[in-house]
A and B are shown apart, each in its own frame.
Chain A
Amino acid sequence: MLHHGPLLERLLAGDFICQISDEDAFRHLSNEQAQQEIDHYLRPLNRRLVSNDDHSVFYLGYHELNKNAREHLSSQFALTVQSLLPLLEWLQLVQETLGRDSALTAGDTIKLQEFVLRTEDNQSLRQRLQTLASDRFFNSQSEQLDSQVKLIFRRLKEHGYLLQPHAERQYYVVTGKIDYLLDVIRFIRDEEQLPVDDTPSQEALL
């Protein structure tokens, strides 16, 4: 089990492991026997390995749900719900700003400078960015576009949605946690039967 040490430490620290954030660890976690070994090891800590439906991200959940666990999960869930709109708006903003034809997916690269340059000259994008940056999820106090963007990206890095491969270079890679976010949204939509479509109507197809 010792050779899993660094991976276990990352998992225990609350990291989401996906193909982008740690390819070797991800491959390892995709192995069923390794999953069992890790679960077995984590049991005394009341933890177990959890993954989303299509097994593209792994993280730790509670093994047994006691009262404390429920309380923690409730507050965690409240935070997640609060973060939904700002994250969705960020996804839309990036897609529109960079002129991409599809939503961001795991493995996509975003150059910070390109994003700033394109936002700078466009009043409406700037306005939207400003509103987004001042949302309490990002909570920027700055008036400067540059520092607003930097803060947004830093916060997303802290939350595990982005990865910065080189600390001194301003480009970011989208991690598999985005998949998790969309799974959460799909789940809520299905459970609550929200009127939120994700298949184009027949008209759009023709």
Chain B
Amino acid sequence: MAPLDSTLTSNLFAIGAERLALLGKHHKALMQGYLDGQVDETTFSEAALKKLIAARILWRPDEQQPLALRPLVSELIASMVADENRRQINADVAEKLEQIRNRVQAYRDAQFKGDYSVAELQLQRLTEHVHDLSGQFEEAIDSLWHRLNSDFGFVSSLDEKIRENERAQKQLRRLLDGLDLLNFDELIELSEGNSHLRKLLVSQLQNQLSSHHSSLLEVQKRLVQLLAKFRQQQARSMLITNMAAFLRQHPKYQPADYPNRSELPGLFNQAPAIRPQAAIALDKASERDILAELLQALPKPNRIELPELHSANFAEQLVDEAIMARQQALKTDVENFYLKVIDRGGKLSALDYLNEQQLSWDSEIWLYQILADYQALPREEKQMFAIRRDETPASEVNQLMLIRDIQIALRAA
């Protein structure tokens, strides 16, 4: 029996490995098939399609239908990528329990016969079944938590979320019913007198299932809370839509005068604002320091600009006229000076001319006006005159140059 077994196993190994490799080889096309609900046959070669069908990865649900992934393969993908739209929850406990019972019986029979290699194999299968049972709950609980934590975000509308939540609650009830089927007295009885079985069926399974049970109760609590929240949101949306529609249809609608009812509803008791104002208490000596501080902290203006007074404006105008006349006289004298320079042809000292003509201008103003007139000349005319400033430093320590006199000469054209 043993050699036969090993060929069977090696055969199984070869086929299984080859078919798993098929999944990897066509991973993109198969994943696309998962998303589209059908596979595009043109992306596969004839031989590849045959292999995929033989490997029970693809099938044709109906003669007219395109090829699609087998449900078990879709389920595998859904579980791997936690796609809550497609993920299946298997709450069938009775079948698993039946298998466990049969395996225990087969194990005991083999032990009784003294066929230890078979007994070993049966124990291994039994272990797998027990793990499957626990894993089935774990997968379901993971899926439920995942949906909860994403707020059922995998569906778009609130109505769908509510339906999904209700579906999850039904699944959860089935899972809890399934857990109730597990009778630990029976499991204790099954494992009686065998430490392996006792460890597997009683201590390990019981531990796991009781933790699953409390997880499921927690999920249930959260699902109920979330459903209440969804319902509340739905009610809000409906209230908003319907009230807006009503008010649009009845533009002149006026509700009763609640504020003048003897029993005023709290909602409409909304008092006007009172704004408490406060200032420094000048009569309180202790606050003087604060006041002084505040005063110091005030930003200081850079320069105090006094507003101009109307009377000052009036006087200014009179002065203006007198100055204008004098300014004009000054300009005429300066012009005469320049004409003299042109007449003479040589250079002429400004101060000498001032003395010569016995003009009454202050020498500084005189020099200033000559410079100003020179600067005001057009460029070509400016070039006609050579200007030389007699300058001396203001003092020995001050390098500021003061103009003592100006010499103007006519340049040779």
Contact = CB atoms under 8 A, between A and B. Distances in A.
B54 to A, nearest CB: 44
B255 interface: yes
Given A52-B267, A74-B259, A103-B236, 9 more contacts: A12-B274, A61-B266, A69-B271, A76-B268, A81-B255, A101-B158, A103-B240, A183-B267, A196-B246
Contacts of B270: 14, 50, 59-61, 73, 76
A102 B234 contact: yes
A34 to B, nearest CB: 18
Given A14-B273, A102-B234, A200-B234, A184 B267 contact: yes
B264 interface: yes
B156 A77 contact: no
Given A50-B269, A61-B269, A74-B260, A84 B233 contact: no
A170 interface: no
A191 interface: yes
B115 to A, nearest CB: 58
7 contacts: A14-B272, A62-B269, A62-B271, A65-B264, A88-B247, A102-B234, A103-B240
B254 to A, nearest CB: 7
Nearest to A89: B244
A76 B272 CA distance: 9
A73 B272 CA distance: 9
Contacts of A69: 271
Interface string B235-260: 11111111110111000001111111
Nearest to A194: B246
A51 interface: yes
Contacts of B246: 194-196
A88 B156 CA distance: 23
Interface of B: 156-159, 161, 233-244, 246-248, 254-260, 264-276
Nearest to B274: A12
A60 to B, nearest CB: 5
Contact of B243 (A95, A196, A204): A196
B238 A197 contact: yes
A85 interface: yes
B242 A198 contact: yes
B243 A88 contact: yes
Given A74-B260, A84-B243, A199 B266 contact: no
Interface in A83-102: 84-85, 88-89, 91-92, 95, 101-102
Contacts of A182: 236, 239-240
Contacts of A65: 264, 269
A187 B265 contact: yes
Contacts of B158: 101-102
A105 interface: yes
A173 B256 CA distance: 33
A32 interface: no
Q: Size band of the A side of the interface?
A: 35 or more
Given A61-B269, A73-B264, A192 B244 contact: no
B161 A192 contact: no
Given A70-B260, A88-B243, A196-B246, A12 B254 contact: no
A64 to B, nearest CB: 11
Contacts of A80: 268
Given A65-B264, A77-B258, A184-B267, A88 B244 contact: yes
B271 A196 contact: no
Given A92-B244, A101-B158, A194-B246, A45 B264 contact: no
A85 B236 contact: no
A192 B270 CA distance: 21
Contacts of B255: 81, 188, 191-192
| 5 smallest beta-carbon distances between A and B, as pairs | A61-B269, A73-B259, A14-B273, A102-B233, A198-B239
Nearest to B265: A187
A189 B243 contact: yes
Contacts of B247: 84-85, 88
Contacts of A189: 239, 243
Nearest to B258: A77
Given A102-B237, A188-B255, A47 B271 contact: yes
B231 to A, nearest CB: 8
A73 B159 CA distance: 39
Contacts of B243: 84, 88, 185, 189, 194, 196
Contacts of A60: 270-271
A195 B243 CA distance: 9
A9 B243 CA distance: 35
Q: Specify which of B240, B242, B257, B274 lies most central, judged by the most chain A CB atoms within 10 Å of its CB.
A: B240
Nearest to A186: B239
B161 A92 contact: no
A204 B159 CA distance: 8
